[in-house]
Amino acid sequence: MEQVFQVTALCLVGALLAVVVRRGSPEMALLLALGAVVVVLLSLAGTVEELLSFFNELGERSGISQQLLIPLYKTVGIALVVKVGGELCRDAGESALAAVVETAGAACALLAALPLLRAVLSLLLEFIE
């Protein structure tokens, strides 16, 4: 819970500084926001590691194959990266680029989920036969 407050405070300070800097140099404001994103992501590395460890344990105990969980992790990661990347593009005033990032993210997420889709198809074919 404490980490949420730290991340929120860092983002608010970064946003306020970006607003002040944006008047004189919009490019520097974008770099400042990007820097805040990197710092937040680095600070969340331990949390993400703990979550992945739990999901691995959950997969082992439930008997679900890691081959099925890995695409899930990739898809979630893609969604998070696309969300941040799209918003940074919008902050830079490039909404068309944000749309391209989101479209590419959707295609990559589908590609990452392909093993899951194949497993579902295989299950369905087994039930039909």
pLDDT tens-digit map of 17-33: 888 888 888 889 888 88
Place of tokens 């589908």: 110
Written as one string, the DSSP assignment of the chain is -HHHHHHHHHHHHHHHHHHHHHTT-HHHHHHHHHHHHHHHHHHTHHHHHHHHHHHHHHHHHHT--HHHHHHHHHHHHHHHHHHHHHHHHHHTT-HHHHHHHHHHHHHHHHHHTHHHHHHHHHHHHHHH-
State pTM to two decimals.
0.75
- Alpha-carbon dihedral angle through residues 109, 51, 10, 74, given to the nearest 10 degrees: -10
pLDDT tens-digit map of 35-77: 888 898 899 888 888 988 888 888 888 887 777 788 888 999 9
